[in-house]
Structure 1
Amino acid sequence: MTAVQGTAVDVPAGDGTADAYLAHPADGAARPGVLLFMDAFGLRPRLRSMADRLAGEGYTVLVPNLFHRHGRAPLVDLPELIDPGARPELFERITPMMRELTNERAMADAGAWLDWLAGSPVVAPGPVALTGYCMGARLSLLTAGTYPERVAAAAGFHGGRLATDAPDSPHLVAGRVTAELYFGHADQDPSLPREQIDRLERALTAAGVRHRCEVYTGAPHGFTQADTAAYHEEGDERHWSALLGLLRRTFPHGG
């Protein structure tokens, strides 16, 4: 693994300035860019460690605070082990912030994140890759369809509401996606029932998108997050294998 440098950075966004975490190889050389979309629990040590691991593989990784309109992270007092079942008040705080992050706002922000990466001296020129978790998986798909010329690959893990009946459902951008996509779905995830999994698969196939969608048997919603009660070690390691494989295919001469 390559030595890693991690720093807090501020990124200009349409509604002000967003705090973010940047991780990259410590040699300072320009590397392929990766934009990591957080889950609902926000920018915190677990996501920084995930960014560090990707940076150790040779990528420059930006993890923005998607709830920046509400302040700098952390916005919620999180326990050492996050168990929403035992702490329902967490989602009482988080849910309004999620609802206020509309597709329009999120995609305006995504343009800002991509602009910042494009202007960074530690990011190699050209399209970047995306990876997202829970709500971030949805944003990964939307960003791939909104900025196709700027996204070379996109992944999403234990995402919810990816293919609903709503007129702004993420799967409806499939026809604009040019990136290779990978989705690792949680088994028996109430936020992504089988009919949505099938609808997403049909949409991507019909649009001719290079993709793979897999259901991780036995893995609950949130399975990659080691600081939560949903953590599933086998599913997490499978996620790393799939994500790193996607990145190596996308950037065969970098990373």
Structure 2
Amino acid sequence: MLKDEIDSLAPARDFNRRSFVQTTVGGGFAAAVLPVTAQTISTDTVGLEAGPVRVPVGDFQMSAYRAQPAGGKSLPVILVASEIFGVHEHIADVCRRFAKQGYLAIAPELFVRHGNAGAYTDIPKLISEVVSKASDAQVCADLDATVAWADANGGDVGKLGITGFCWGGRTTWRYVAHNPKVAAGVAWYGPVARNYHPGDKTIVELAADIKAPVLGLYGAADGGIPVDTLTQLENALKAAGHTKSEMVVYPDTPHAFHADYRPSYRKAAADDGWARCLAWFKKNGVV
């Protein structure tokens, strides 16, 4: 399972002692992705409020990483859904990149009930012991709670977007299907024809519930997400009368092409995808 994830991690190179394991949400890198590569991007916190926060989900306190312009009020909100590795340094950096653009960006640790995703080195074990236990129902409820937290902490959830990577890309599609208040989503290489938790529907099966526009960013050489599955989703969306979403498929591009800390990183596709991501949110009112 997820051979594409395993293939995209090796070989990697050391980067000036940045090969450290995640210890707190948004701090360090997950053990499975070490050592990180020399091209790894690091966004500073100048002008930002950034760091771990706690999001109440009933009686449970869920950890999350939040970044926003310092002193900002009524900020548009971007939910950031992580890869299977949890909220480690790369996901925190993505939040800071959005914050530099004027957003309140928040990445909840959606696996925290089931184990420390950042501590695993064996990906199949990580999936079976942690990722597969995070059901769509739990994830959507956690994201609902995250939206409520943002609403109470400087965010304008009338301008709500979501983005995510791999597992988080699928989560992006799934949450748009769940929450009609989401204005737009950007899904980076998220599987659409398979699920992770037993009994959950695929995104293709949920196509009729997707109302908001979603931009899908994919690599044609992604061994875990065949291009024909994207066509299946496009056809299902059209059959449901949905014409707002778009797919961009980069030729000769692997899975995890945005992950600058991994060997799978492809700068041209990543830069183009990021520009499209920002433009998509602005076009659809998340600004």
TM range (shorter): 0.7 to 0.9
Residue 94 of structure 1: how far off its partner (Å) = 4.2
Whole-angstrom distance in 1 between the partners of 2:89 and 2:136 = 26
Range with bigger deviation, 34-43 or 1-10: 1-10
CA distance 1:93–1:173, change in 2 (3 Å): closer
List per-residue Cα deviations over 1:55-93 (Å, max 9, x = no partner): 11111101111111035x66316xxxxxxxxx6x24423
Label 1:75 to 1:251 Cα distance change in 2 as closer, same or farther (>3 A).
same
Show the 5 A alignment for 1:154-165. Answer: 154-160=185-191, 162-164=192-194
Q: Quick one: distance in 2 between partners of 1:245 and 1:227?
A: 24
Please report the RMSD computed on the Cα atoms of aligned residues, expressed in angstroms: 2.3
1:135-146 matches, cutoff 5 A: 135-146=167-178
Runs of 5+ consecutive residues of structure 2 not aligned to the other structure: 1-43
State percent identity of aligned pairs. Answer: 26
Question: Are 1:152 and 2:192 counterparts?
Answer: no
- Contact 1:14–1:109 at 8 Å: present in 2 too? no
Give the 4+ runs in structure 1 shifted more than 6 A: none
Alpha-carbon spacing, 1:20–1:215, altered in 2? closer, same or farther (3 Å): same
Report the residue type matching 1:8 in the other structure.
P
Report the equivalent of 1:221: 255
Q: Does 1:46 align with 2:90?
A: yes
Deviation at 1:183, TM superposition (A): 0.1
- 1:69 corresponding residue in structure 2: 113
Q: In the alignment, is the contact (CA less than 8 A) between 2:111 and 2:117 conserved in 1? A: no
Asked if the contact 1:18–1:68 (Cα under 8 Å) also holds between the matched residues in 2, the reply is: yes
Q: Work out the CA distance in 2 between the residues paired with 1:55 and 1:175.
A: 32
| TM-score for both structures, normalised by structure 2 | 0.76
Does residue 255 of structure 2 align to residue 212 of structure 1? no
User: Is contact 2:81–2:108 with CA below 8 Å preserved after alignment?
Assistant: yes
Distance in 2 separating the partners of 1:250 and 1:169: 25
Distance (whole Å) between structure 2 residues aligned to residue 27 and residue 112 of structure 1: 22
Task: Count the aligned residue pairs.
Answer: 239
2:219–2:250 CA contact under 8 A, matched in 1: yes
Alignment-derived partner of residue 80 in structure 1: none
Tell me the SS of whatever aligns to 2:158.
Answer: coil
> Any gaps of 5 or more consecutive residues in structure 1?
78-86
- Is 1:245 paired with 2:251? no
Q: Aligned equivalents of 2:205 and 2:182: distance in 1?
A: 17
Residues 115, 226 of structure 1: alpha-carbon distance in 2 compared, 3 angstrom cutoff: same
Q: Which moved more, 1:208-217 or 1:106-115?
A: 106-115
Cα distance 1:192–1:140, how it changes in 2: closer, same or farther (>3 A)? Answer: same
Contact 2:186 2:214 in 1 (8 A): yes
